[in-house]
Amino acid sequence: MASISLSNIHKFYPNGYAAVRDVSLDIKDGEFMILLGPSGCGKSTTLRMIAGLETISKGDLHIGGARMNDIDPADRDVAIVFQNYALYPHMTVIDNLSFGLRLRGVGRSIIDQRVANIADMLGIGELLSRKPAQLSGGQRQRVALGRALVREPKAFLLDEPLSNLDAKLRSAMRTELIKLHRTLGTTIVHVTHDQVEAMTMGERICIMKDGVIVQVGAPMEVYRNPVNTFVAGFLASPPMNLLRGRLSAQSLSLDGTVLALPPALGQAFADHAERDVIAGMRPEDFHLKADAAASTVPVEVHAVTTEVLGPEVILVATVSGEQGAEIHIRCPRDFRAKPGEIVIFHYDVSQLQLFDPETTYALKRPVQI
């Protein structure tokens, strides 16, 4: 077990491309850290630098307090699950799983026991004598995960380890990983695209974009207080609605629709009165009934279409007339609306987020109202 600390880390690929720029991140001993970001933002590169498979162009990497920049991957005692699995093609599943242990001279009986445990947990017990070419994508991915888990290293680096599993298996594996983290207490860095994984698995989320870190924080903290419109628009699905508007002393006007702000909120944003803003409104903060306690204001929308998901219905609608900006609203599962129909929602303004349209960063806002 070990902490992992990245200080001002840069990665320049030989072609001059700066894949990671000035990344600083302190991952605590035993922490479950999520790396989240769009494709090509440098997540894998960061992970591979921690593992030692890419050189660090600039900056310092410490694992367990020791500087690791020039240490061989073998001596860092971390295990990685590769995005492309990287199984040993000529070895059977059982040899793939046990290779690292055999190299480290672990005893036969311990190897057998650990491999059996992991194979059982991942449901690959029946595949042990097969070669990777004889496995499906999801099975390969589980073997790749197993190969890392069986090692019991100081830290796990998981590069989208569940991306290729079906929904049911993925949710089961999610739970297994969380349980495993709880029992082993090993530091885990987990790269993912999956919103649910990001929100449910990690103790903290690190959101990256274009090679830099945008925001780091506990899932709910990042969810509640996205630092900029990128994070707001990236986290959760459907993400936060972002609408251009103008703030005045006691109200927010969104292209014709005027939302009255409760005095407390108006006060909080007083510094920014009379300026253009981007309003961030979460889809789940629109309610069908007014709620006096939750300071709701009515908003009139034109239904465009509905996506019936089962447990809920996502309404796509426009505000301020049929030509207005589109927003997504999370509705109860029995909600129905015809295209063009006008629906009145009650928006909980206490959840409103405001962003500066120029910098895209969030305007100062009271945390509790």
Partner 1 sequence: MTIAADDRRLNNMPRTEQTAVERRDRMFGWLIASPSLGLLFLVILFPVFWALYTSVHDYTLIAPNFDTFNGIDNYTKALGDPEFRHTLWLTAFFVAAVVLLEFALGFLVALMLNSVERFKAIYYAILLCPLLMNPVIVGLIWRMFLHPSLGIVNYLLSLVGIDPVNWLGSTKVALWTIVMVDIWHQVSFMIVLLLAGLSALPREPYEAARVDGASALRSFWHITLPLMLPVIAVTLLIRLIFAVKTYDLVYIMTRGGPGVATDLVSYFIYRTAFVGLNIGEASAMSAILLAVIMGLTVWLHRYMRSLT
Binding site for partner 1 (CB under 8 A): 51-53, 72-74, 78-80, 82, 84-91, 99-100, 103-104, 147, 151
Number of Cα atoms under 13 Å in the Cβ half of residue 152:
11
Minimum distance of ligand ATP from residue 203's CB (angstroms): 21
Whether residue 91 contacts residue 113, with contact meaning beta carbons closer than 8 Å, is answered with: no
Closest approach of Cβ 174 to Mg ion, in Å?
19
Q: Which residue's CB is nearer to Mg ion, number 163 or number 350?
A: 163
| Strands of the sheet with 4-12, listed across from one edge | 18-27, 4-12, 58-63, 66-67
* Smaller CB separation from ligand ATP, 50 or 343: 50
Q: How far is the CB of 215 from ligand ATP (least distance, A)?
A: 16
Strands in the chain per DSSP E: 4-12, 18-27, 32-36, 58-63, 66-67, 78-81, 155-159, 187-192, 204-209, 212-217, 241-247, 251-254, 257-260, 275-281, 286-287, 296-308, 312-319, 326-332, 342-348, 353-355
- Least Å distance, CB 13 to ligand ATP, is 3
Please report whether residue 366 would count as binding ligand ATP according to CB under 6 A.
no
99 versus 361: smaller Cβ distance to partner 1: 99
Q: Kindly state whether residue 279 participates in binding ligand ATP, applying the rule CB under 6 A.
A: no
Closest among 227, 241, 199 to 326, alpha carbons compared = 241
Task: Please state the closest distance from residue 22 (CB atom) to partner 1, in A.
Answer: 25
How far apart CA 268 and CA 356 sit, in angstroms, is 15
Q: Is position 115 an interface residue for ligand ATP (rule: CB under 6 A)?
A: no
Site for ligand ATP in 38-67 (CB under 6 A): 39-45
* 192 is a contact residue toward ligand ATP (CB under 6 A): no
Q: Site residues (CB under 6 A) for ligand ATP?
A: 13, 15, 17, 19, 37, 39-45, 83
